Structure 1
């Protein structure tokens, strides 16, 4: 029971997903930037695509669990449910005391916990609350804004709010306020769910510096790679390294490799630019091959972390970490135009369900064909709408258990 993930490629046994819901339809053109979207997915098709993704996993022996179900099970006790509602309202940054009271009463009136969780995810519009009689100045100033609490349309990217590392998790401090509220569900799951409560945390959501799960890759049970990116700060990596390397929970991690990648949306996370597809193969964005600045964090004396800087190509650093020669498979075959197009649609972001077998987006057909020619089995899912959120199959999945080494 609980968390057990020490690899990117060992057979996947259990995974956490979030099926897109009404939060997607609460994106409007005016607020796309606020919600970190470049376009508005068509929900009905996005759900069908996501269902196809989940079914491929089930067909291959993977147990699929859903975020809203685990969160609902975590708040089954009345006191915990009330605590969740209060914390949700506080983190939703509701200013007016009267609105807070009305919102609490509204959410507490839900008898079905799954419906409650779904409502907090999709956002609460002003039209759902009774007319507020004692308005504050903030209420008048923000009168045109349609929501009491913002929707969370990025939730279907379950990779980011927390990361599984060995038998522990990193409960992340997200880069943007928009997404940081997403970690509330994992917080309650890992505090109160009977299967996951008490799970060791090597990072916590109330820590100062931001880090996201898309930047954390379990290369082996002894080596973890973390991207220094737009959304993960070097200070957070140092903090998590201290806690992982001197962890007493039985994790076997001996080394953190910090990769410095460009701080742009196209290189949003480390798993945006490369993912492992087999024991010795990775799919990569051609422009990340290097040379790269790599920082190696290891155990030092007196519970201090040793830090060593080097400059290597991606092939060199991965070959050294895995102790074998690796092959880098370029997104789009290295062609500039094709690689840029398919990279935008997460051609390098694959979910490995067992060595040499990955889930990929249909629209990245050039990269998919290259993977197949390299002996990689591809499970292809439709992706016209899911891809509009700028995340691939790895982004949409959080492994909870893989077979051990």
Structure 2
């Protein structure tokens, strides 16, 4: 079949991963990170983000905390806004520690940025847990979904401003304890699969821990993760299910396929 007919010619070659809009750029507070992607192929996706934030009348002038031309890779699936002051970033298969170091300097040196703490989560380096949001997402002010695979000892690095630079402090404590310190209230961790190891492994491959929170306590999830979705409802979460069909085979859930530009407090 001749895909390029006279009636319809593609101006540019298609970018097959572009539906994962979370990764090429990520909003951080009132600024944006134009990311350096892990793969050369996907790095093309950041070009349109660069043009939007440099030239679009609604978005030009937005503080930029990272550049697609930087050496070290970082992707939006590893960047989670916990609240106005706290940012979580995954050290993962797709995000390097040096990138986090660089973005921290830029965020803290922006006088308009409300972010004063960055928590760098060191997660396993493998495809099943390629981004922080594949194993950990926030679904309410005090509730998180989590894959049981990162429930054990977890290295978290607290990054805060110090003079013109940054200070890094390693924290070795249970995840609940770490989160409670920065959120200021008790937290609930809801495991993918409800704690059932077999269900957790199966539903993790269908992004059971990757939820799109559209309001506190209201999330969009794949309908096929019935065990995890039932547990979310038991925890008084408003669950909106969508069919995943073939989408989950691309290794991404509802959060991966969204990039909110503006968030209400």
Which TM-score band (shorter chain)?
over 0.9
2:24 aligned to which of 158, 161, 166: 161
Alpha-carbon separation, structure 2, partners of 1:315 and 1:288 = 12
Q: Relative to structure 1, is the Cα distance of residues 119 and 339 closer, same or farther in structure 2, using a 3 angstrom cutoff?
A: farther
1:130-176 C-alpha deviation (Å, 9 max, x unpaired): xxxxxxxxxxxxxxxxxxxxx42111000000010111000000001
Q: Give the conservation status (yes or no) of the 8 Å contact 1:289–1:315.
A: no
Alpha-carbon separation, structure 1, partners of 2:218 and 2:171 = 32
CA apart distance, 1:119 = 3.8
Write out the 4+ residue segments of structure 1 that deviate beyond 6 Å after TM superposition. Answer: none
Could you list the runs of 5+ residues in structure 2 that have no partner in the other structure? Answer: none
Asked if 1:222 corresponds to 2:85, the answer is: yes
Count residues with an aligned counterpart: 260
Q: How does 1:50-61 map to 2 (within 5 A)?
A: none
Q: How does 1:164-175 map to 2 (within 5 A)?
A: 164-175=27-38
Higher relative contact order (CA 8 A, sep 6+): 1
Asked if 1:359 corresponds to 2:220, the answer is: yes
Alpha-carbon separation, structure 2, partners of 1:389 and 1:321 = 33
Q: Give the conservation status (yes or no) of the 8 Å contact 1:288–1:314.
A: no
CA apart distance, 1:262 = 0.4
Alpha-carbon separation, structure 2, partners of 1:212 and 1:172 = 6
Alpha-carbon separation, structure 2, partners of 1:317 and 1:392 = 26
2:73 aligned to which of 210, 222, 242: 210
Helix, strand or coil at the partner of 1:196: coil
1:289 aligned to which of 151, 154, 157: 151
Alpha-carbon separation, structure 2, partners of 1:325 and 1:281 = 9
1:261 aligned to which of 97, 106, 123: 123
Alpha-carbon separation, structure 2, partners of 1:380 and 1:314 = 28
CA apart distance, 1:198 = 2.1
Q: Relative to structure 1, is the Cα distance of residues 119 and 285 closer, same or farther in structure 2, using a 3 angstrom cutoff?
A: farther
Alpha-carbon separation, structure 1, partners of 2:152 and 2:187 = 15
Alpha-carbon separation, structure 1, partners of 2:152 and 2:75 = 23
Asked if 1:384 corresponds to 2:245, the answer is: yes
Alpha-carbon separation, structure 1, partners of 2:53 and 2:89 = 23
Higher Cα Rg, which structure: 1
Partner residue, 1:177: 40
Alpha-carbon separation, structure 1, partners of 2:257 and 2:170 = 32
Alpha-carbon separation, structure 2, partners of 1:314 and 1:345 = 24
CA apart distance, 1:320 = 1.4
Q: Relative to structure 1, is the Cα distance of residues 119 and 348 closer, same or farther in structure 2, using a 3 angstrom cutoff?
A: farther
